[in-house]
Amino acid sequence: MDHAEGSTQDAAHRVPVCYRHPDRETGVRCTRCERPICPECMVSASVGFQCPECVRGGSGTGHPPTASRPRTFAGGPVTADPRLLTKVLIGINLAVFLAQLAVGNSLADRFELIGRAQFSPFSPVEGVAEGQYYRLLTSMFLHGGYAHILFNMLSLWWIGGPLEAALGRARYLALYFVSGLAGSALTYLIADPTQQSLGASGAIFGLFGATGVLMRRLNYDLRPLVALLVINLIITFTPAMHIAWEAHIGGLVAGVAVGFAMIHAPRERRSLVQYGACAVVLAVVVVLTLVRTAQLT
């Protein structure tokens, strides 16, 4: 079963805050002095955004440069609620968990990740290998118990919210689903085909990896994040925990790869590089899925 472990609150707190409003997290920096600035302090320029001090000191006229829409650190539009998608994802996971409690095991049996298995002597053979490819996605929203969903949702809030603010909604959502699908694909490829797996941990480990890339780009101390990662991996590979380590590793690798493209993409080809990286990882997911399906059938 796929579980998320460890507190990631320290990593979340490493996300920059506005230099004029320390209580506001932001993923945007002044293009001249590189100080973090919140939407209230952003002054649109022909390229990026500037802080009020740089505008007053560099414009000569006191008037802001040519206006453009505020952008996040990764180039996404700045929004009024930078954690909206994180809240929506948490809400969907909680709603599905409540449905699991109401319906029982039948819901998990129908939508969890399983390669190829027969649940009873007279039931049909089911699994991804039987054409139920939707299980690669739906398993990301199922959980195996109260502790499982509690740790996953706390991790999603602590890591996802600040990362969404830094990337922007579209890029954040792409990272989340690509990482989750990569975790599902690696689980499908390596794990026993009768092994049942479910949980959002693959996607969350992807956010974990992208957070590390962002912190490195901002020259933050990576030691707290590395320590958390080591603890998580130790728990992941503890046999008694019955954790689908494949989902964690697959999500983490995909998160680092996509996160690197999101953070380091050159400005002139930013969207092409960012979404191109997502497409490449998705292509790998498709290839792994087809290879495993051919093996099992």
Dihedral (Cα; 123, 127, 132, 136), 10-degree rounding: 150
- What is the residue whose two structure tokens read 């493209």? 261
Neighbours of 94 (CB within 10 A): 14
User: What is the rounded distance in angstroms from the CA atom of residue 208 to the CA atom of residue 229?
Assistant: 8
Torsional sign, CA 244, 245, 248, 249: negative
Structure tokens at 129: 């290998």
User: In degrees to the nearest 10, what's the CA dihedral of 165, 167, 95, 118?
Assistant: -150
- Phi and psi at residue 74, in whole multiples of 5°? -95, 0
Q: Which pair of structure tokens corresponds to residue 150? A: 């509690």
Cα separation, 265 vs 267, in Å, equals 6
Nearest 5°: CA angle at 210, between 182 and 232? 75
Residues classed as catalytic: 201, 248
Nearest to 182 by CA among 276, 253, 275, 107: 253
Per the listing, tokens 């990362």 go with 163
